[in-house]
Amino acid sequence: MVKVDAKLLDKFLRSYRITKGKGFRLRDHDPGDTRGFKSEQKREARTLLARGIEWLAEEQEKLYAQDRWGVLLVFQAMDAAGKDSTIKHVMSGVNPQGVHVTSFKAPSSEELDHDFMWRCVKALPERGCIGIFNRSYYEDTIRPTAAAHAPWYVVPADNKWFTQLVVAAAIVQGIEQLALRFPTVDTAVKKEFDECRKWLLAEKD
């Protein structure tokens, strides 16, 4: 089981987390920032990313089994900013059956006949699943919507290896706060399961 150092994770993400939209300016954030990682440390960064992906795969199993929460990841960026490749790499270890990606482009005639939230609401993930919005209704994203309970993460995008690391870290931190766990089974139910298992094995023989 991969362990998460919550304090170290928070320290790493602090400068990218936006909890107050007032006064936010995108140009104040350096797209080439690598948080002190040098280009020669790419291997170390990839190792950290691999650990994050492994952890996410473990947590996805708990998310599905617990069936209490749905997780929504919203990626907002300019075209050619690397959203697709980031999603592909960061989510490479999870079960694709439990992940649904929705790409929002120009609205269709059907979508225009509904309110602007309709196409997003119908794509929300069900409990136990992870939903990904590739673009969203937050086109003029951060200043009016960032809040302590719903922060945005401004991710430097000039170095893809670092972009993926920050995105993975943000996802890990968000899911870690859910305190996911496998459901517990009481003794009576466990005994019933054991009996069913014995019966099925006997039938197989």
Rounded (to 5) percent helix, strand, coil in the chain: 45, 10, 45
pLDDT per position as a tens digit, 59-85: 999 999 999 999 999 998 877 778 899
**pLDDT band of 205, cuts 50, 70, 90:** low
Specify if 83 maps to a domain: yes
pLDDT per position as a tens digit, 110-147: 999 999 899 999 999 999 999 999 988 776 678 988 99
Is pTM beyond 0.95 here?
Answer: no
pLDDT per position as a tens digit, 5-17: 888 889 999 999 9
Q: How far apart are CA 170 and CA 18, in angstroms?
A: 12
pLDDT at 139: 66
CATH of the domain at 138: 3.40.50.300
Q: How far apart are CA 64 and CA 127, in angstroms?
A: 7
Specify if 193 maps to a domain: yes
Specify if 10 maps to a domain: yes
Specify if 174 maps to a domain: yes
Percent of the chain exceeding pLDDT 90 equals 57
- Bridge-partner residues for 102, per DSSP? 133
Average pLDDT over residues 24-36: 91
> What residues make up the domain containing 148?
6-204
Give the total number of structural domains in the chain. Answer: 1
Specify if 1 maps to a domain: no
**pLDDT band of 95, cuts 50, 70, 90:** very high
Specify if 163 maps to a domain: yes
Specify if 54 maps to a domain: yes
Specify if 50 maps to a domain: yes
Average pLDDT over residues 24-33: 92
Percent of the chain exceeding pLDDT 70 equals 98
- Residue 45's nearest CA partner among 17, 77, 15, 12 is 12
pLDDT at 110: 94
